[in-house]
Amino acid sequence: MPRASGPLAEALAHRVVLLDGGLSNQLTDQGCDLSGGLWSGRVLAERPDQVQTAHTAYARAGAEVLITASYQVGYEAFAAHGHDRAATTALLHRSVALAARAAEAADHEVWVAASVGPYGAVLADGSEYRGRYGLSVRELAAFHRPRIEALLEAGPDVLALETVPDAAEAEALLTVLAGTGAPAWLSYTVAGARTRAGQPLPEAFALAAGTPEIIALGVNCCDPADVLPALEAAATVTATPLLAYPNDGSVWDAPTATWQAPAHPTPWPVEAWRTTGARLMGGCCRIDPPRIEELAAEIQRGGRSQRRQRS
Average pLDDT, the chain: 92
Q: Is the pLDDT of residue 262 over 60?
A: yes
Which helix (H) or strand (E) segment holds residue 177: the answer is: helix 167-177
First to last CA, the chain: 33
Residue 17 dihedral angles phi and psi, to the nearest 5°? -110, 135
- Amino acid identity of residue 14, one-letter, is H
- Classify the phi-psi angles of 162: left when phi > 0, otherwise alpha if psi is within -120 to 50, otherwise beta: beta
Contact 160, 187 (CB under 8 A): yes
Residue 61 has pLDDT above 70, yes or no: yes
Helices and strands, counts by H and E, the chain = 13, 12
- 157-177, pLDDT tens digit by residue? 999 999 999 999 999 999 999
Provide the strand spans (E) within 54-189. 65-67, 111-116, 158-164, 184-188
Percent of the chain with pLDDT over 90: 80
* Neighbour tally for 201: CB within 10 Å: 24
Q: At residue 252, does pLDDT exceed 70?
A: no
Mind listing the pLDDT tens digit for each residue in 215-237? 999 999 999 999 999 999 999 99
Predicted confidence band at 267 (pLDDT cuts at 50, 70, 90)? Answer: confident
Residue 62 has pLDDT above 70, yes or no: yes
The values of phi and psi at residue 112, to 5°, are -110, 125
Contact predicate 43/51, CB 8 Å: yes
Q: Are 41 and 87 in contact (CB under 8 A)?
A: no
102-141 pLDDT, tens digit each: 999 999 999 999 999 999 988 878 888 889 999 999 999 9
Residues constituting the chain: 311
Q: What is the pLDDT of residue 304?
A: 58
